[in-house]
Amino acid sequence: MSRKRAAPFLRSVRAEALPARGWPWELPAVRALEAGLDLDAPVVMFCGDNGSGKSTIVEALAAELGINVEGGSRNFRFATRETEAPLAEHLVLTRRAGPRPVDSFFLRAETYYNVATEVERLGGPLDGYGGFSPHDRSHGEGFLDLVANRFRPGGLYLLDEPESALSVHGCLALLEVVVRLSGAGAQFIVATHSPVLLACPGALRYETGEDGIAPVDYDDAGPVRLTRGFLADPQQFLHHLLADD
């Protein structure tokens, strides 16, 4: 008899009592959280243009869950500079009834150097990093070492633009881990521009933009449409891009 997979840990998020003015309160994607957002899937993907709010939302989820916003787990307490938006203070999370995740980690490309430095400072075992200090590996290798050795079934993992550190081959390697672990009870919440990562089977995909947050099919997602358009005819694409006004 097959064992029933546990429901995703995070079921939904809602924002309340948001200030009316300033950043990030005026972002349409942030305002859209007042109506509530379904997160009830093993893999939730956010895509959208730069500055549309997808990373702000993932960061706020990490903060509300008690995970270090510069990256790492709940046990990482370092901070180099407080730049995160106070959105977390306004979030109401609906969690599943039952056990907590066996592990949680916030992996963000822009601050992984700081995480690597903290790993060295703590001086503990490096099994979760493939036996290497992340500083002794390339950016992408360090990312994949962590994902392959630290992430496990039943965990909760938030990823902010992980493709920034990865080649296309690296994105495929990450996608394989996401698919395999999400099928074994892990939940992933990812902000990404990568058409490769957005292709994750069964993912709940959202696009952030001027209209707020909306579900989006893979073929209609901005990164997919733009990448396909460019690859179909790079010269024509560049002609329009570089044409004189």
**Domain coordinates of the chain in residue numbers?**
10-242
Q: Residue 110 in contact with residue 159, Cβ under 8 Å?
A: no
Angle at 205 between CA 99 and CA 161, to 5 degrees: 85
Give the β-pairing of 187-191 and 204-209. Answer: unpaired
- Note the pLDDT of residue 2: 45
pTM greater than 0.85: yes
From the CA atom positions of the chain, what is the Rg in Å? Answer: 18
- Which runs of consecutive H residues, i.e. helices, occur in 6-125? 28-32, 54-64, 112-122
**Distance (Å, whole) CA 138 – CA 102:** 28
- Which runs of consecutive H residues, i.e. helices, occur in 34-95? 54-64
- Note the pLDDT of residue 16: 96
**C-alpha dihedral, 69 to 70 to 72 to 75, nearest 10°:** -70
Token pair in block for residue 54: 């997808």
Spell out the SS3 assignment of 65-77: CCCCCCCECCCCC
Contacts of 57 (CB under 8 A, 6+ apart): 29, 30, 33, 46, 87, 191, 208
- Note the pLDDT of residue 69: 78
CATH number among 3.30.70, 3.40.50, 1.10.10, 3.10.180, domain 10-242? 3.40.50
Look at the alpha carbons of 49, 51, 55, 57 in this order and tell me if their dihedral is positive or negative: negative
Task: Specify the DSSP class assigned to residue 239.
Answer: H
- Note the pLDDT of residue 72: 64
- Note the pLDDT of residue 206: 98
Q: Residue 28 in contact with residue 210, Cβ under 8 Å?
A: yes
**Distance (Å, whole) CA 34 – CA 16:** 6
Segments in the chain below pLDDT 50: 1-2, 78
Distance from CA of residue 200 to its chain's centroid? 13
Cis amide linkage into residue 99, ω under 30° from 0: no
- Note the pLDDT of residue 41: 97
